[in-house]
Amino acid sequence: MNLVATPAHLSTVSSTFEQDFSQRLHWSMEQDAAIEERVAAILADVQQRGDAAVLEYTARFDGLNAPDLAALELTQAELQAAFDSLPEGQKTALTEAAARVRSYHEAQKQATGQSWSYRDADGTLLGQKVTPLDRVGIYVPGGKAAYPSSVLMNAIPAQVAGVAEIIMVVPTPKGEKNPLVLAAAYIAGVTRGFTIGGAQAVAALAYGTATVPKVDKITGPGNAYVASAKKRVFGHVGIDMIAGPSEILVLADGTTPAEWVAMDLFSQAEHDELAQSILLCPDADYIAAVQRAIDRLLPEMPRAAIIAKSLSDRGALIHTRSMEEACAISNRIAPEHLEVSSRDPHRWEPLLKHAGAIFLGAYTSESLGDYCAGPNHVLPTSGTARFSSPLGVYDFQKRSSLIEVSEQGAQTLGRIASVLAHGEGLQGHAWAAEMRLKG
């Protein structure tokens, strides 16, 4: 097999650029009606029959039989044993990564997750109280996409937020457990875990069963069934984003070794044939050098077939008129991962409006961010960085407004409220304000 990776070579000066670019970018989350229907049935069944339904689906879909759901609970001893049995190098790496992720999220909580209040001239107290969620569920995929790093990235912000109970679900097809996933759960402070997955696990967390406690919010990635189930229970419980395929966009000024950039494009492409890797650069020679590096490095890659298909079907090397134009195009894409591979990244960063995470400078490979730099690797995909944010401590907190109106304040506010309430035809509202007016 002679694999080649042939990303589209585009140029912004071409008359067909807009068309070619749109075509390359196009991806839409298919809403498969058959999946939606099956998921709706599973949710209803688990809501009604609880443990028994979850057990049946686990037997049917994961080939895992158990006498009762309690038998599928992971004990803390089992999580700890998984950690203890890791090779020393993995144990250290996991521990250090967890410490860095924790430290970043503590800084995040300190910076933007604190209660606040003030008193205005009338003595009225206004503010917000920030409190953690009581109990959250974390979905961890099994099988080929079982990533211990995702356990850290979901559980640690919840723990830093102060969530008292973190319930992990992870399918273990045929009962095969991933020791790194269990070890990560141990390090990250997961409270309880169950080896269940799919829509049935989402349903168990959303509605609660005799064995699985109902949670307030469910986060974590999953397949189309999990995504559909999360979307359906949204409102009943909170959810994080529905993730699409992963993406990287590299803005290069041509000063980073071409091999580094090629490998960064690979590290996205190797995830999934649908993953998208794009390079934007004003230097045509550099683009050619990156393509040569791709050709040279591809045969050595263990996941070469996935990389070749991803780059050929969805990748693009785009020659731009300038770095400024490259920044503008990046804003249109609103990429999940954005590398500013430049000698002078701080010149370009202020121009970048929409991105999940921005990696500044040649040494900041996306993979460092994926594992251990500290920031979360759960990021908005498919252009949703236009309106959403990385997973964070704020996803595991909620706010309550605080209002304390003084007797004096009620005189000012009461008159305003009364006029507006009468204007809306809500006399009860008006009179409640008027009753607090003096004489």
Residue span binding its own copies (CB under 8 A) among the ranges 18-26, 54-62, 311-319, 385-393: 385-393
Residue 231 as a binder of its own copies (CB under 8 A): the answer is yes
Residue span binding its own copies (CB under 8 A) among the ranges 12-20, 192-200, 257-265, 284-292: 257-265
Helix residue ranges per DSSP H, 298-406: 304-314, 323-333, 345-348, 366-371
- Taking the C-alpha atoms of residue 366 and residue 312, their distance in angstroms, rounded to an integer, is 21
Q: What tokens does 61 get?
A: 């879909």
Residue 45 as a binder of its own copies (CB under 8 A): the answer is no
151 close to 140: Cβ distance less than 8 angstroms: yes
- Taking the C-alpha atoms of residue 247 and residue 360, their distance in angstroms, rounded to an integer, is 17
Largest Cα–Cα separation, the chain: 91
* 225 in a labelled binding site: no
* 246 in a labelled binding site: yes
Binding residues for its own copies, rule CB under 8 A, total 129
Residue 284 as a binder of its own copies (CB under 8 A): the answer is no
* 236 in a labelled binding site: no
The DSSP code for 357 is E
- Taking the C-alpha atoms of residue 63 and residue 21, their distance in angstroms, rounded to an integer, is 44
* 337 in a labelled binding site: yes
The neighbouring-strand residues paired with 436 are: none
Strands 73-74 and 192-194: antiparallel
Residue 404 as a binder of its own copies (CB under 8 A): the answer is yes
Residue 344 as a binder of its own copies (CB under 8 A): the answer is no
Which of positions 162-191 make contact with its own copies (CB under 8 A)?
Answer: 180
* 264 in a labelled binding site: no
Strands 192-194 and 165-169: parallel
Tell the smallest beta-carbon distance from residue 315 to its own copies (Å): 13
Please report, as a single letter, which amino acid is at residue 421.
Answer: A
Concerning whether 337 is annotated as a catalytic residue, the answer is: yes
Please report, as a single letter, which amino acid is at residue 317.
Answer: L
Residue 432 as a binder of its own copies (CB under 8 A): the answer is yes
Concerning whether 336 is annotated as a catalytic residue, the answer is: yes
CB contact set of 154 (below 8 Å; sequence gap of 6+): 138, 140, 188, 219, 220, 378, 391
Q: What are phi and psi of 320, to 5 degrees?
A: -110, 165
Tell the smallest beta-carbon distance from residue 254 to its own copies (Å): 17
Catalytic residue from among 270, 336, 339, 366: 336
Residue span binding its own copies (CB under 8 A) among the ranges 7-15, 65-73, 85-93, 189-197: 85-93
Catalytic residue from among 337, 339, 366, 377: 337
Tell the smallest beta-carbon distance from residue 71 to its own copies (Å): 28
* 424 in a labelled binding site: yes
Task: Name which of 252 and 301 has its Cβ closer to its own copies.
Answer: 301
Name which position in 41, 71, 210, 368 contacts its own copies (CB under 8 A): 368
Task: Name which of 38 and 386 has its Cβ closer to its own copies.
Answer: 386
How far is C-alpha 201 from the geometric centre of its chain's CA atoms? 19
Name which position in 18, 134, 206, 291 contacts its own copies (CB under 8 A): 134
- Computed on alpha carbons and rounded to an integer, the radius of gyration of the chain in Å comes to 25
Name which position in 69, 138, 237, 290 contacts its own copies (CB under 8 A): 237
Task: Name which of 192 and 271 has its Cβ closer to its own copies.
Answer: 271
- Residue 17, CA distances (Å) to 116, 151, 430 in order: 49, 40, 59
Residues carrying an active site annotation:
336-337
Which residues participate in the annotated binding site for Zn(2+)? Answer: 268, 271, 370, 429
